[in-house]
Amino acid sequence: MGFFIENLINALSYGAAITLAAFSFMVPLKATNIVSFAQGDFISLSAFIGAWLITDKGWNWSIAYGATLVIMFGAGVVFERLTHGSLRGRPVDEVIIATLGVAFIIRGFISRWRGANPQSLESPLRGKFFTFAGAAIPYQRLVIIGVTIVVTLVLYYVFQRTAFGLQLRALATDPEVARLHGVRTTRLAIIAFGISSFLCGLTGLLVGSLTSFDIGLGFAIMLGGFCAAIIGGWGSIAGAFVGGLVLALIERLFGAYYFTHFREMLPLVFLFLFIAVRQRGIFRGAESYGRL
């Protein structure tokens, strides 16, 4: 029983992390129709920045985390200017390649700056856990789940109830009409990218501080995020949440019992079968309007 609960919590917190990753690329996607492949490296970057501020600069964890998030937001703004902003009117493939270029740059920067060895990011809850029905449940994992639920609700609220969210949704469907009604597309794109990197930062700090991390931290989470978004219905917030949950349960819970050595492959195989059979997500997402 304890084994089951431990792996269940593990799965839930992993699902939460990939849901956050999914959100991080969905926000700029809504604003600009661009898929960024640099999310993984942004996630890794934030963990490294956090570790550097705490370990090398000796800052208190709360200040370090806050500063990291602010830096990440700024990095997102710069990212927008380099990719979307420099490639107005160009085919989408070219912008995606630009995001690949940025991914390369960030990855190279991290490896030059901090090297490829495992790093440690301090967290107030590190190593603390409580026992329940024979399972050791780390507080940190519950925090990740909690933060994700909060972020989901906040994002849902922002998208559905605020003017900003409304403008983003209009922009995603018909950018020209949005402009004709005064929507400031450039400003929105910049903010969207900033929020995206902020979410990456959140993910990196939360997951990086669980145990140790290295430069490959973000890649797997980003891939999971893409898969979650596809399964849940591209562009749907609720969908990403459900998709993340489904994939994490497959990998971390089901995979704890069967195919354990190959469990990382399980969500990928599921994804293939899913796309091949169903072609669209669980919820009505952007594809139902033929916008992909």
Partner 1 sequence: MGVSSSFERRTSAPGAKNNIRNIGIFAVIAVALELLIGDSLTQANLVNLWMFYACVSIGFYYLFGVSGQFAFSQAAMTGVGAYTSAWASRDLPVIPAIIFATVVTAVIGGVFVLALRKASHFYFGIGTLALSETYHILAIQWNSFTGGEGGEVYGIKGLSLFGIDFTTDKSAFWLMLVVACGVLTVGAMLERSPVIRESKATRDQRTVADTLGIPHLRSRVTMFMLGSAMAGFVGAVYSHWKMGLSPNTFGLELGLGVFLMVILGGLTSKWGAVLGAAFYVWVPELISFVEEFKLMVYGGILLIVIIRLPEGLIGIEHVVMSRVHKRRHAASGETPTSISERVVTDLPDSLKPVLNNVESTILATEAMTVRFGGNTAVNNVSLELKSGEVLGLVGPNGSGKSTFLNAVTGVVAAEGKLSIYGQQIPLGNANALKKAGISRTYQSPQTYLKLTCLEDVLLSTSDRKFTGIAAAVLRPFATLKHERARWAIAEDALEWVGLRHLADTKVAQLTYGQRRLLELARAIAGKTSTLLLDEPSAGLNASETEVLGEYLMKLHAAGVSILIVDHKVDFLNSICDRIAVLNVGNLITIGTPDTVWDDSRVVDAYLGTQ
Partner 2 sequence: MLKLSNLSVNYGVVRALNDVSFEVPEGHITALLGSNGAGKTSLLRAVSGLVPYLGSITFDGTEASKLGPEHLARAGVLQVPEGRRIVADLTVVENLKLGLTALGGRVSKVDIDGVFEIFPALAGMKEREGWMLSGGEQQMLAIGRALVTAPRLLLLDEPSLGLAPVIIKAVYEALATVLKGTTVLLVEQSTANALSLCNEAVVLAQGNVSAKGAPSIFTRDFLAKAYLGG
Given the rule CB under 8 A, which residues bind partner 1? 35, 82-83, 86-87, 90, 92-94, 96-98, 100-109, 111-112, 219-220, 223, 226-227, 230, 234, 261-262, 264-265, 268-269, 271-272, 275-276, 279, 287, 292
> Using the rule CB under 8 A, is 290 a contact of partner 2?
no
What's the min distance (Å) between Cβ of 94 and partner 2? Answer: 22
Distance of alpha carbon 275 from alpha carbon 270, whole angstroms: 9
Q: Which lies closer to partner 2 via its Cβ, residue 111 or residue 162?
A: 162
Write the single-letter amino acid at 96: I
Stretch that binds partner 2, among 2-10, 161-169, 209-217, 262-270 (CB under 8 A): 161-169
Q: Which lies closer to partner 1 via its Cβ, residue 181 or residue 261?
A: 261
The continuous run of DSSP H or E covering 156 comes out as helix 139-161
Write the single-letter amino acid at 200: C
Kind of pairing, strands 119-120 and 212-213?
antiparallel
Size of the site for partner 2 (CB under 8 A): 18
Mapping DSSP to helix (H, G, I), strand (E, B) and coil, where does residue 213 land?
Answer: strand
Among 5, 97, 183, 256, contact with partner 2 (rule: CB under 8 A):
183
Which residue's structure tokens are 């602010």?
Answer: 70
Binding string, 260-289, against partner 2, x = CB under 8 A? -----------------------------x
Among 128, 184, 260, 262, contact with partner 2 (rule: CB under 8 A):
184
Among 88, 90, 128, 179, contact with partner 2 (rule: CB under 8 A):
179
Stretch that binds partner 2, among 129-137, 141-149, 181-189, 219-227 (CB under 8 A): 181-189
Nearest-5° angle of CA 42, CA 48, CA 52? 145
Rg, C-alpha atoms of the chain: 19
Q: Which lies closer to partner 2 via its Cβ, residue 264 or residue 287?
A: 287
Which partner from the list partner 2, partner 1, none does 179 bind, CB cut-off 5 to 8 Å by kind? partner 2
Scanning 162-265, the segments in alpha helix (DSSP H) are 163-173, 175-180, 185-208, 217-232, 237-248, 255-257
Nearest-5° angle of CA 243, CA 233, CA 269? 55
Which residues, 6 or more positions from 67, have their beta carbon under 8 angstroms from its beta carbon?
A: 53, 59
What's the min distance (Å) between Cβ of 178 and partner 2? Answer: 7
Among 169, 256, 263, 275, contact with partner 2 (rule: CB under 8 A):
169
Other CB atoms within 10 Å distance of the CB of residue 186? 12
DSSP conformation class of 119: E
Q: Which parts of this chain interact with partner 2 (CB under 8 A)?
A: 163, 166-167, 169-170, 173-174, 176-185, 289
